[in-house]
Chain A
Amino acid sequence: DSGVTQTPKHLITATGQRVTLRCSPRSGDLSVYWYQQSLDQGLQFLIQYYNGEERAKGNILERFSAQQFPDLHSELNLSSLELGDSALYFCASSVAGQFQETQYFGPGTRLLVL
């Protein structure tokens, strides 16, 4: 158990819909990272927050957005969903927000868009 929690574990929805994925980091970690994992693209970095502020952006679509709240939990919002958005979405956390330090990954949310 990494100490990072993600909800829900599974999500099935239809094209065009909007969903929210939630992540609670390990106690004491200030930074949260969101990743998307698909069979063809592998693990892709989406976005990072540190202590409530956006710190780095990766291959995140404009239809996707995220935020980190004062209690440090984070939410990833996916809207106008397409079939190709079906993937595993992971949240990771770390203490100081440096990419090279140990990132602790949650168990992921499996999203299926029908």
Chain B
Amino acid sequence: TQLLEQSPQFLSIQEGENLTVYCNSSSVFSSLQWYRQEPGEGPVLLVTVVTGGEVKKLKRLTFQFGDARKDSSLHITAAQPGDTGLYLCAGAETISGNTPLVFGKGTRLSVIA
């Protein structure tokens, strides 16, 4: 079973600060997804990256897929309290779409006003 390690596990920062969270594996993934989960709700897909080295931006969030497709990062600029939540990465082993996603355990982010 492929594993996705996310770091840090917990992060508490002040509003306006920048942060980066990481998702690492020793295995290659055909694509990687990032989700945000707020308390009492299910995960919501933020982005899917499929090409090694790919960078995608979603407002203040920047997602990068490693060149070797083994790792990914999420950078948040000028964090706001609304960014608070559990950030999950999930990898797909094959491009066929028939292999279940493997999820990391998440980074729990708290942005303090």
Contacts and interface: CB of A to CB of B under 8 A. Distances in A.
B88 to A, nearest CB: 6
A58 interface: yes
Interface stretch (B17-25, B53-61, B67-75, B91-99): B91-99
Contacts, number: 59
Contact of B103 (A44, A55, A98): A44
A41 B100 CA distance: 16
Interface in A24-59: 41-45, 48, 55-56, 58
A113 to B, nearest CB: 20
A98 B97 CA distance: 5
A102 B45 contact: yes
B113 to A, nearest CB: 26
A103 B78 CA distance: 28
B11 to A, nearest CB: 17
A108 B105 contact: no
Q: How large is the interface on B (under 10, 10 to 19, 20 to 34, 35 or more residues)?
A: 20 to 34
The main secondary structure of chain A at its interface with chain B is loop
B104 A42 contact: yes
B42 A107 contact: yes
Contacts of B100: 45, 48, 56, 58, 99
Nearest to B4: A42
A4 B42 contact: yes
A103 B45 contact: yes
Contacts of B33: 100
A57 to B, nearest CB: 9
Contacts of B98: 55-56, 98-99
Interface of B: 30-31, 33, 40-45, 48, 88, 90, 92, 95, 97-101, 103-106
18 contacts: A42-B103, A58-B100, A99-B92, A99-B97, A99-B99, A99-B100, A100-B33, A100-B95, A100-B97, A100-B101, A102-B45, A102-B48, A103-B45, A103-B101, A105-B41, A107-B40, A107-B41, A108-B41
